[in-house]
Structure 1
Amino acid sequence: MRTHPLDIGSRKLWRTLGREVDLDGDDSWLRSPTSPRDLVADGWLQDGAAVLGGSLIADDHDAGLLGDLSELDGPGFTAADLHPQVRDFYHHTARYRIEVWSSWTPIFWPPGEMISRLWGRRLQQLALPMRPLDVAHGMDSRVLPIRDADGRQLAAGWLRSLRSTGDYVYSGCYLPRKVPGEDRLSLVVSFPLQSGNMQAVLQPHVLPGGALRLESPPGPFGSAGTYVLVEDGGRTFVRRLPVHETFVVYVDDEGVVRTDHVLRVFAAPAFRLHYRLDRLG
C-alpha cells in the first residue's frame, strides 16, 4: 500500500524531533494501538485489541469507556466522590446520545483548517469540526470494549462520527494506565494513526458538586500530557507536545450530563467543545 507523502513527511518530522523509545522495555507505558493503514476509521480495532492482549467485543450495547472508574483511585482522587450520573456515563457510555457545539479561537482557525483538510478528513481521524454547523446534527457514538479471557475490561474503543455525513471525527482507545511521572493511574486516550498514534495522558480530579476534571497539563516527559508516537525504519520515536486539554464532566441544574472541553497550545486556548450527553433507555 502506497503511503501518502504528507504522512511520510510528518513521520520523518516526529522522528527528527522525538526521542527513541523501547516499547518492550522501560517505555512500555507508551504502547497502544496504531493503524495498519492510512484510513483509520475503525480499521485498527482488531489489531489494537491484540496489542493490548484482549479480544474485541462488538455487541455490548451497555459498554462503558471504563469497566470501573474506581480503577483510577489514588492520592487525590476517589471515584466514589463523583456525581452518580457522571460515573454512570463512564460505565455505560454506549447508552448516551451526544450533541456537540464547537468554537475556535480566530488565530488558531487557519492551522486547524489546514490540518483538517490535509490530514483529518483524509485519515478519518482527529477531524476536528471547524464550523458550528459541522456538528449541528450531533454525533453518533459507538463503544467497543476490549476484554481479557476472564472478562475484565482492558480498554475500550470509542468511535464518534458526524450524524449528518457518517464521517469519523474521533476514533480513540481509552484505557487506565500508570505512567512513570504520576503517583496514580491516568486515563490514557490514544488516537491510532498509520504507524503511530497520538496519546493524551489525563489525570482525574473531583470538583465541587461531584464533577470530574480530566487534564493533560504541562510537565516533564513521562508525566500526564500529550504525546505523538511514530514507528519508522523498525524504530519507535516519541515527542511530548505543548498541547494541553481539560475536560470537565458535570451535571447541570436540570439533571443533564454535560462536558466542557478546552484544548490549549502552550497556554493559549485554541479550541472548545461543549457536549450534551443524554442517556437513552
Structure 2
Amino acid sequence: MLVNLRNNQCSLILLLGITLTAICLSFGEQPQYSWLLTVAQLIFVPAMVMMVVDFQSVGKIIIVGMMLVVTLLHFWTDGLYAIALAFLYLLYTFYIAIKGVKRFLQRGFTNCAEFSIDMGLIYLALGGFWFFAFTANINTGFSSLITWLTAIHFHYSACLLPLSVGLFGRLHDSSWYRVIVFILLAGPLLVAIGITFSIIIEIIAVVLYILAIYGLFVLTFKTKLLLGQGILLRISYGALCLTIIGSCLYVYSRLSGTYYVGIPEMLRFHGVMNGLFFGGIGVVAWAIAVPATNQRTFNFPVSQIRGKLRHEHQPHPGLVDALQDFVDTTKLHPVISDFYEQTTSYRLLATVQWKTWFKPFAFLYQGMSRLLQQLNLPFSNQQIEMTGRIVKVDEEQDSRQSPRAWIRTIKQQTVFVAIYSRHTSNQITYMNIALPLPFSTMVGILYAYEEQGQLHLTSQQGEDAGIYLAIGNYVMKLPLQEHFRIAAVNDQTLTAVHKMTLFGIPFLHIDYHIQKNQQTRQGISGHKEKVLIGTYQKE
C-alpha cells in the first residue's frame, strides 16, 4: 500500500501542496479561516485532478504555476496584483474544465462514473469564478463572506466530491449508484439556486443530498475495496454524513429564525470535518491506488461527412446489398429482405406521434430542422407519404464501406438524409448509419436480430450499438436509444414501428405502412406461403 502511495504520480504534487500550504498558513496575510479553501486549492484539487487526467509536461507546469499563484495571493491580498493573480487562477480552473469537456466528448453519457469525473472537472471553473469575484470585490449581490463560502462550496461539494464518487464508480456500479450520482451532480447547483432565490429549493436540495450521501456511505460497505483504502474512504464519506447534519441545522436556523447553527459554527465544525476528514483522508485513500477506468474506447468507423451531403448522382436500389450479412434471414419473410435490398421499389406512409411532454421541444425545433433539412419530421400525427431516393456516396469522402444515402422527402421537403454503411466487430455486423449535421454527424449503430419472424434493429444490444455524435475527432454517446420492428403483412406489404427514447423516456413513435410499388409487384418467392402478421411460416 505504501509503495503504491509513493509511486503515485500525484505524490510530488501532494508534497509540494503541503509545503506551500504550510508557508501560506505560517507567513501569509489571509484571515485564519482561509485555510479551508487554501488546502483545497493547493493540496486536494491538484492531487485529485492528477489522478483522473493524464497530463503532459505542459499541464503539470500549469498546475505547479497555479499553486504558486495561490501562494502569492496570501501575501498580496488586495489591489491589482491580487486581482491579476486571481484572474490567473480563474484561467487555470477553465483549463481544467476544458479537460473535463474533452473527456466528455470522447465518451458522452455512456459511463456514469466517468461522467461524474467530467462534471467535477467542469464545476471547478465555477469555484474559480467565485474565488475571483471574492478577490476582486465584485458585487455578486452577497456579502464578501458568502461569496467566499460559495467558492468553497464549488471546490469541495462540486469538484472534489464528484471526482471521488467517480473513482468509486470505477469499482462499483448499480442502479442506486447512478441515482446517487445524479443527485450529487445536481445538488451543488440546486443548493446555490436555493441560497440565491428560495429557501424551499435549498431545503429540498439538502434533503436529497442527505439521502445521496448516506446512500453512498452504505454502498462503500457493499463494495470490495483494498483494506486500507476502504477504511479511509469510509471515514471520508462518513465525515460527510456528519457535516450534512450541520447543514440541516443551518438551513433550519435560516428558515425558523431561531439561532441554532450560524456561519461561525459552520466554519468550525463543517469546515474542519470537510477539510481534514473528507478532503484530506479522501485524497490519501485514492492516492493509495487509483482504480483504472473500465471505459471502452469507440473504434468503429465513423462517416467523415459534415454539413450538407455532396452525393453522387448514381442511384442505388437498396439500403443494404444483402440483409443476410446482418441477420439470419431464413426465418424472415422474403419481403423484408427485399425491402432492404430493393428499397426504392416501395412506398412509405408514415404516422409521426410526438409524446405530449416532448411536443414543445419538437415544435421549437421545427424551424431549425426545416433549415437544416435533417431530422425534419412533421408535427402533425396525420398519415403522410414519404418519398425518397437512394444514391451512392463517394467512399473516400465518407471513409466507410460502400456508403449510400437515403434521402427522404415529404411534399418535396427533405426530412431525412441518412448515409447507410456497415462494419463488423467481434463477428457481429452492424448497420452503421450517419446523419450529417453542421460541423458534426449523428451516428446510429444498430444491431439486427430476428424474433418471431420479425426483424428488429436496436441501439441497445451489442458492444458498438448506440447513438453517437461525432464532432471533429471526438465521438460521444448520446442518451438516445432507438428500436425498429419490421413485420411482413403479405408478400407485398410490411409494417414498421420506430420508437425513440431520451434518458430512457419515450419521446417519439413512428408507424410505417410500407407497400411495394404497383409497377414492380411480383411474387417474391415461388413457394406457397402462409403469412401471419409478425410471423412467417412456409407450407
TM-score using structure 2 length: 0.39
Residue 31 of structure 1: SS of its match in structure 2?
coil
Kindly indicate whether residue 404 of structure 2 is the aligned counterpart of residue 156 of structure 1. yes
Paired residue for 1:66? 320
Q: How does 1:47-66 map to 2 (within 5 A)?
A: 56=312, 58-60=314-316, 63-66=317-320
Residue 223 of structure 1: SS of its match in structure 2?
coil
Paired residue for 1:9? none
Kindly indicate whether residue 433 of structure 2 is the aligned counterpart of residue 177 of structure 1. no
Deviation at 1:145, TM superposition (A): 3.4
- Structure 1 contact 196–228 (Cα < 8 Å) conserved: yes
- Structure 1 contact 65–145 (Cα < 8 Å) conserved: no
Residue 362 of structure 2: SS of its match in structure 1?
helix
Instruction: Indicate the structure whose relative CO is greater, using CA pairs within 8 Å and at least 6 residues apart.
Output: 1
Cα 1:275–1:59 change in 2 (3 A) is same
Kindly indicate whether residue 442 of structure 2 is the aligned counterpart of residue 202 of structure 1. no
Paired residue for 1:122? 371
What is the CA deviation profile of residues 66-102 of structure 1, one whole-angstrom value per residue up to 9, with x for unaligned ones? 0111222xxxx41333210000000100111111101
User: Which of residues 460, 464, 481 in structure 2 aligns to 1:244?
Assistant: 481
Deviation at 1:257, TM superposition (A): 0.7
**Structure 1 alignment gaps of length 5 or more:** 1-13, 21-25, 47-55
User: Which of residues 446, 452, 455 in structure 2 aligns to 1:212?
Assistant: 455
Deviation at 1:218, TM superposition (A): 7.2
Structure number with higher helix proportion = 2
Deviation at 1:113, TM superposition (A): 2.1
User: Which of residues 434, 439, 449 in structure 2 aligns to 1:190?
Assistant: 434
Residue 485 of structure 2: SS of its match in structure 1?
strand
CA distance in 1 between partners of 2:393 and 2:371 (Å):
27
Provide the aligned length of Structure 1 versus Structure 2: 227
Residue 32 of structure 1: SS of its match in structure 2?
coil
CA distance in 2 between partners of 1:161 and 1:115 (Å):
18
Paired residue for 2:24? none
Paired residue for 1:31? 302
Q: How does 1:269-280 map to 2 (within 5 A)?
A: 269-280=506-517
Paired residue for 1:229? 470
Residue 405 of structure 2: SS of its match in structure 1?
strand
Which of the two has higher C-alpha Rg?
2
Deviation at 1:267, TM superposition (A): 1.9
| Structure 2 letter corresponding to 1:66 | V
Structure number with higher strand proportion = 1
- Structure 2 contact 315–390 (Cα < 8 Å) conserved: no
Paired residue for 1:145? 392
What is the CA deviation profile of residues 147-166 of structure 1, one whole-angstrom value per residue up to 9, with x for unaligned ones? 87xxxx81221000112xx1
| Structure 2 letter corresponding to 1:184 | I
Kindly indicate whether residue 324 of structure 2 is the aligned counterpart of residue 80 of structure 1. no
CA distance in 1 between partners of 2:374 and 2:102 (Å):
21
Cα 1:100–1:198 change in 2 (3 A) is same
User: Which of residues 341, 350, 363 in structure 2 aligns to 1:91?
Assistant: 341
Cα 1:92–1:147 change in 2 (3 A) is farther
Cα 1:254–1:66 change in 2 (3 A) is closer
**Structure 2 alignment gaps of length 5 or more:** 1-100, 108-296, 396-400, 521-539
Residue 448 of structure 2: SS of its match in structure 1?
strand
| Structure 2 letter corresponding to 1:200 | G
- Structure 1 contact 260–274 (Cα < 8 Å) conserved: yes
CA distance in 1 between partners of 2:461 and 2:361 (Å):
22
Residue 154 of structure 1: SS of its match in structure 2?
coil
TM-score using structure 1 length: 0.72
CA distance in 2 between partners of 1:120 and 1:15 (Å):
27
CA distance in 2 between partners of 1:196 and 1:273 (Å):
25
| Structure 2 letter corresponding to 1:120 | S
CA distance in 2 between partners of 1:251 and 1:114 (Å):
36
Deviation at 1:167, TM superposition (A): 1.1
What is the CA deviation profile of residues 187-218 of structure 1, one whole-angstrom value per residue up to 9, with x for unaligned ones? 1111011221001110001011x210000117
| Structure 1 letter corresponding to 2:325 | E
Kindly indicate whether residue 367 of structure 2 is the aligned counterpart of residue 101 of structure 1. no
CA distance in 1 between partners of 2:470 and 2:300 (Å):
12
Residue 252 of structure 1: SS of its match in structure 2?
strand
Cα 1:229–1:147 change in 2 (3 A) is closer
Deviation at 1:255, TM superposition (A): 5.3
Aligned-residue identity in percent: 23
